Chains A and B, each alone.
Chain A
Amino acid sequence: MSDIVLRAEDLVREFRRPRRLLRPRPPGLRAVDGVSLAVERGRTLGIVGESGCGKSTLARMVVGLIAPTGGALTIDGRSIPELARADRRALCRRVQMVFQDPSGSLNPRKTVRDILTAPLRALRGLDGAAARARVAELMDLVSLRPEFADRHPHEFSGGQAQRIGIARALAAEPEVLVLDEPVSALDVSVQAQVLQLLGDLQARLGLTYLFISHDLAVVEAIAHDVVVMQRGKVVEAAPAERIFADPRHDYTKLLLGSVPRAAVP
């Protein structure tokens, strides 16, 4: 029996639309519409789709920021919505997230050190010298110069800011990392570094990734399994080798055909 860390069954998230004057409330918007998936420990599930396909909503449900309106979502067999209500810190120690917008995910008023120390203190009980040492370690992990620790987020390029976001997620030492478009804002050379870093970390720490991206080449480079989403539904799910070599759904084919290629024939 394989070791499933994260499982979603028939997961639904509906957003209520505002009532219009003197008219019945319009039907809700189903951002995630009956998604089932399972992620094995230590593997990477890539979720591919375009903006508005529900992949970010899915990501936010997995980390407990949004509650599902239907279906089941579990981590290590425990319900994520319940953990989020009853013991958020326990959930935060299990699953962390790297956000899409690198500059918007860092508080502009804090130094990098403050940003990284917050989860160390709240989730790992580290303080003082231990926290300082760990901050230095985390900065090194994401290849940022140690003297950057006392700077503010606006002093960084998008790529550097995103690495701070990754360091913050790693600070909690989670089992599962939800990566919501983590490299789409990065420079290619930095993107490759981060992809390699994510690979190393996975091998070393046995991390499980939910890797959300619109970039198929990136997903191909990192994911073991791939799920293609369109309008809140899974249209194709398969091991990465199969889906890129032999896409079966029309939408998957369209996505693959749209990627501009640098390779010379």
Chain B
Amino acid sequence: MSAPAASLTVTRSARRFALPPALTRLLHNRTATAGALLLAAVALVALLAPVLPLQPPDASHLALRLKPVLTPGHLLGTDQLGRDILSRLLWGTRLSLAVGVFAALMSSLLGSTIGLAAAYRGGLVDAALMRGIDTLMAFPYLLLALAIVAALGPGLFNAMMAIIVVNVPFFARGVRGAALSVVRADFMAAARLCGLSDLRIVFGELLPNVMPGIVIGVSTTVGWMILETAGLSFLGLGAQPPQADLGGMLGEGRNLLQVAPHVATIPGLVILLLAIAINLLGDGLRDALDPKLKAGGTARSRARTDAASGEERRRGLPAPLALARLPLALRGLRTEFRVGRSVYAAVGGVDIAVARGEAVGIVGESGSGKTVTALSVLGLVASPPGRIVGGEILHHGEDLAEVPLRRLQDVRGGRIACVFQDPGTSLNPLIPVGEQVAEVVRRHAGLGRRAAMARAVSLLDAVMIPEPAETARRYPHEMSGGQRQRVGIAMALADDPEIIIADEPTTALDVTTQAKVLRLLNDLRRERGSALLFISHDFGVIASLCDRVHVMYGGRVVESGPVAEVLRHPRHPYTRRLLACVPALGSRTGRVAPIPGLPPSTDALPTGCAFAPRCDRALPACTSGDIALRPVGPDRHARCIRADDE
């Protein structure tokens, strides 16, 4: 009775004391940790200034003027009035740090409030606030600060006020810009539909999304603020003697640079140190606060997917067959993602062969590995975390997983071309579409600028874009989704590819447009003899285009064969159930029959058949050992021990 209760408490308290994920990520970032440690050390020493055995910072001993560093009793020497530099430095750092942090917080608070209000309210509020900010920005930055101090009178507090005011536009503009893109997101509309008040929406929904920007803004401006206050003090407008702050010390030491360089150099170094520490920490904070970086880390992906050595990848593969000479043959392809301690076997041993001029489909649900399979072919899986750990990718017998990068880049977009799902994001929004097509032509066909453009126009014509010469000068945003996808196809055709890999190319399109694009792909394939590796979740699309189909589930092919055969007589229960899920037009009586459960996550695939937990025909043998993809008819394969049952 008490044991479960006790273990429950343990889990609860363990969760409470576990580090928040953002902090853990921050600690993993070495430069940020270094910055944090440095800043903490400086801040600690500054905070401890009152209790440290220091000489009074303002006590002057004219007899001990300008003593050098390491004088007994004056570790860092003395200044022109014989005051202990170490003491003044610590007290000065304390003051400068406090002023910098306070000023940064205040101006970010004011600026962010203005920015959020402007972005959320829009219209007149936005116009009024932003014109006010513009007015403030119309004055040169330091001049404005000087004018404010001149009006208020010199003094550290007034200098701080001036610096707060001149920094408000920086935050207001930045936050407004970041918030504007968030305001239009659907989740903001959803929040209104949840009955949340405007205040809750601004602070609960909008603010967290712009917070990283504010945090990095604050952390970088703390540095500036220290510098600016130092600047004003340097000019004699900030801290007034005998009060010590870093800028004032620098200013006082300036005249003695020849005689006693340490008087100015030491506070200068501390300012430098503080600025560096604060900026390193700020960058780290930004990265840590963005949950999107949790999975992939901050590393940039490489030019191609990492692959294990050929020997390792080929271990356990059967000897190469004649099909290795095909335009594309995947043999036992395995691609994994390592995220933290989990290993996702996204592709777990896939064999797919594409013959010359053949249209091969891969059908599967999200997470089935179909896209990773396609991306692995050209090494387009992001690395890290992706890695090809097994199998071969044979292009006429050449293993693309181990050819030199130059060779792979020649094949990419040349002999093997890609068409991606979202034409909106795969085109560069700043370059006219004609030039983008021409660029691919130049890269692969080695034509000159003019010849490439002419070829680009003829390619646009080939994909049935009306008035191709005019359209070539237009930007992606000026075109419809269907037109953009045609441009994507035109780019794929640039070097008369042997194979086009198309990953859900029509999923984002309207039905009537989809029908046209599918017809176009089909015509192009027949005219040009290009083979097609077509990935889709939609059996209807596959059926209207492909000769053969591979059904994927849990990272493996569970069934393959000619499309018509597979549709007429599916041999794997998953294929059968998947087909029953598709609402068929014109058969109102046959309502959809969903598959219970969820597709498995590829980091925890069950032993044996991955579909067994959802299958109504599963036997104990289905989960006891690996199940091979075996022939079940002419050109038909299924990974099911009951494929022959009726």
Interface residue? A101 (CB, 8 A): yes
Q: With the chains together, A196 CA to B592 CA distance in Å?
A: 7
Interface string of A235-265 (1 = CB under 8 A from B): 0000011001100000000111111111110
Interface residue? A100 (CB, 8 A): yes
In-complex Cβ contact of A65 among B187, B193, B577, B592 (8 A): B193
One of A28-36, A72-80, A211-219 at the interface: A211-219
Q: Which residues of B contact A254 (CB under 8 A)?
A: 512
Interface residue? B126 (CB, 8 A): no
- Decide: A261 and B544 in contact? CB cutoff 8 A: yes
Interface residue? A97 (CB, 8 A): yes
Interface residue? B25 (CB, 8 A): no
- Decide: B583 and A220 in contact? CB cutoff 8 A: yes
Q: With the chains together, A263 CA to B564 CA distance in Å?
A: 9
- Decide: B511 and A143 in contact? CB cutoff 8 A: no
One of B135-143, B320-328, B374-382, B535-543 at the interface: B535-543
One of B77-85, B273-281, B593-601 at the interface: B593-601
Q: Which residues of B contact A143 (CB under 8 A)?
A: 598
- Decide: B366 and A158 in contact? CB cutoff 8 A: yes
Chain B residue nearest in CB terms to A88: B195
Interface string of B193-217 (1 = CB under 8 A from A): 1111000100011001101000000
- Decide: A259 and B540 in contact? CB cutoff 8 A: yes
- Decide: B510 and A214 in contact? CB cutoff 8 A: yes
Q: Which residues of A contact B606 (CB under 8 A)?
A: none
Chain B residue nearest in CB terms to A171: B194
- Decide: B190 and A187 in contact? CB cutoff 8 A: no
Interface residue? B643 (CB, 8 A): no
Interface residue? B578 (CB, 8 A): yes
Interface residue? B14 (CB, 8 A): no
CB distance from A230 to the nearest CB of B (A): 11
| A-B pairs with beta carbons under 8 A, tally | 189
Given contacts A118-B196, A188-B578, A220-B588, contact A104 B186 (CB under 8 A): yes
Q: With the chains together, A172 CA to B538 CA distance in Å?
A: 33
In-complex Cβ contact of A264 among B187, B515, B568 (8 A): B568
Interface residue? A108 (CB, 8 A): yes
In-complex Cβ contact of B583 among A155, A217, A241 (8 A): A217
- Decide: A260 and B189 in contact? CB cutoff 8 A: no
CB distance from B525 to the nearest CB of A (A): 16
CB distance from B524 to the nearest CB of A (A): 17
In-complex Cβ contact of A159 among B189, B366, B512, B594 (8 A): B366
- Decide: B194 and A50 in contact? CB cutoff 8 A: no
In-complex Cβ contact of B581 among A155, A188, A257 (8 A): A188
Q: Which residues of A contact B537 (CB under 8 A)?
A: 187-188
Interface residue? B61 (CB, 8 A): no
Q: With the chains together, A97 CA to B211 CA distance in Å?
A: 28
Interface residue? B58 (CB, 8 A): no
Interface residue? A96 (CB, 8 A): yes
In-complex Cβ contact of A50 among B511, B578, B584, B592 (8 A): B511
Task: Please provide the chain A residues from 102 to 152 with a CB less than 8 Å away from any CB of chain B in the complex.
Answer: 104-110, 118-119, 122-123, 143, 145, 152
Given contacts A188-B578, A256-B585, contact A123 B195 (CB under 8 A): yes
Q: Which residues of A contact B121 (CB under 8 A)?
A: none
Interface residue? A92 (CB, 8 A): yes
Interface residue? A210 (CB, 8 A): no
Q: Which residues of B contact A154 (CB under 8 A)?
A: 291-292, 295
In-complex Cβ contact of A189 among B209, B295, B581 (8 A): B581
Interface residue? A7 (CB, 8 A): no
Chain B residue nearest in CB terms to A102: B186
Closest 7 CB pairs of A and B: A192-B594, A260-B540, A187-B365, A192-B581, A105-B186, A221-B583, A262-B539
The interface of chain A, by Cβ under 8 A from chain B, is: 50-51, 60, 63, 65, 88-89, 92-93, 96-97, 99-101, 104-110, 118-119, 122-123, 143, 145, 152, 154-155, 157-159, 165, 168-169, 171-172, 187-193, 195-196, 199, 214-218, 220-221, 240-241, 244-245, 254-264
The interface of chain B, by Cβ under 8 A from chain A, is: 185-187, 189-196, 200, 204-205, 208-209, 211, 291-292, 295, 365-367, 481, 510-515, 518, 537-544, 564, 567-568, 577-588, 591-596, 598-599
Residue contacts A-B, CB under 8 angstroms, 28 given: A51-B481, A60-B189, A88-B195, A92-B193, A93-B195, A100-B186, A104-B187, A105-B186, A106-B187, A109-B208, A118-B191, A118-B194, A122-B195, A123-B194, A152-B291, A154-B295, A157-B366, A171-B194, A187-B365, A188-B578, A189-B595, A189-B599, A193-B594, A195-B594, A218-B583, A244-B585, A244-B588, A255-B512
